[in-house]
Amino acid sequence: MKMKIRAFCSMVLAMAVYSQSAFAVVYPLPEGKSRLVGENLQITVPEGNKLPLEHFAAQFQMGLSNMLEANPGVDVYLPAAGTKMIIPQQLILPDTPHEGIVINSAEMRLYYYPKGTKTVIVLPIGIGELGKDTPFNWVTSVQRKKDGPTWTPIKAMHAEYAERGETLPEVFPAGPDNPMGLYALYVGRLYAVHGTNANFGIGLRVSHGCVRLRADDIKYLFDHVPVGTRVQFINEPVKATIEPDGSRYLEVHNPLSATEEQFNSSEPVPINLPVNVCHVLVDPSVNQSTVDQALQRRSGMPENIVAQGDSSQTATVQVQPVDESTITEGPDTEQAQQGNAAPVTLQTSVPEQSGTAVPVDNTAPIEQATPAAGDDGQTAQ
């Protein structure tokens, strides 16, 4: 009964978010040392659907990578009518201070902890493409904000475009066609958290290192995040928690490719388990078969690794058809699949799978971001 009530409350929250065209999924912070929040939702693609997956992702404040992890095999361009899709709104909060902004590149989510509240706001993001990665293992702050930013491409971008026979303007003027969108929060001297003129890139590796958000999301951050707010960049594809009742949960995302070989390979990127995750897994109560399956599935959703059988909890919501003319662009399929995708299934009760062993490295090296210098308004985009 308790789980049904929680699922119902999550459904009501999600419907409120949709009906009010709200900007985010807002979670109350759990009590004590708990880090598990939210409940997953289930929707059915309406009859006559002519809209891409991005539409459903945006409707429930998800990125494409989150939807692809939770719904393996779904058509990015046109999800089939009648298809049941999971909206992965249950998650484990990152093992970081509940302060300011936390950006986890691996799961392509931004967490904002408004000061003086007991809530966390979770927003989907687009991040840097391979070789132009968004920083991680870096703590900085919001140094300034800009309403109507202009974009001054750095020299490396001019050279990159020139190699393709294209020319970039010296400065992109402010406006809806600006790749930085309508608002920007500048962090460090090169990077920014900003909007976009291409929503299909939310949940993908598409930028030159900056963090992209949908228009309503960046508008909210611009209006509510003060200059000086702490910003922490991390890259943690695996999260785990020990809950107050003794249950243990594991959330596994596909790690970001670090090399061209990994990016182009059909093999999953190896997972390195950090010490704090291993601490959760090394316990007699943990079902190691469930752990192995979760590491192979990489569904991006928390799984109870103590309980036997199906540990998923979902609430069902109705989705109404929408005029497809409101959607004018779609993602590159290969790029979408390379975002965070991996072969996954939804249930934890599937037969044990065999496959490549998952390498474990408890002492992964830390990379320190070193932002490059730039002119005022000059960013990686």
The beta-strand segments (E) located in the chain are 25-28, 36-37, 40-44, 84-87, 91-92, 100-104, 109-113, 119-124, 127-128, 138-147, 183-187, 191-194, 205-207, 211-212, 230-234, 238-242, 248-252, 303-304, 314-316
Q: In what order do the strands lie in the sheet with 248-252?
A: 238-242, 248-252, 303-304
103 and 142 Cβ atoms separated by less than 8 Å: no
Alpha-carbon span 88 to 61, nearest angstrom: 10
Q: Can you give the pLDDT at residue 157?
A: 76
At residue 131, the pLDDT reads 80
CB 113 within 8 A of CB 100: yes
Q: Residue 321: what pLDDT?
A: 54
pLDDT score, position 320: 54
In a structure prediction context, what are the per-residue pLDDT tens digits for the chain, which is 381 residues long?
444 434 444 443 444 333 334 446 899 999 999 999 999 999 999 999 999 999 999 999 999 999 999 999 999 999 999 999 999 999 999 999 999 999 999 999 999 999 999 999 999 999 988 887 888 899 999 999 999 887 777 777 778 777 888 777 777 777 777 777 889 999 987 889 988 877 778 988 887 778 999 999 999 999 999 999 999 999 999 999 999 999 999 999 999 988 989 988 989 999 999 999 999 999 999 999 999 999 999 999 999 999 664 445 565 555 555 444 443 344 443 344 344 333 222 222 222 222 223 333 322 332 334 333 333 344 556
What pairing do the DSSP bridges indicate for beta strands 211-212 and 191-194?
parallel
Q: Where are the alpha helices (DSSP H) in 86-214?
A: 155-163
pLDDT at 12: 39
Task: Indicate which residue of 55, 194, 208, 253 is catalytic.
Answer: 194
- Beta strand pairing call for 211-212 and 205-207: unpaired
The verdict on whether 158 is a catalytic residue reads: no
Residue 194 is a catalytic residue: yes
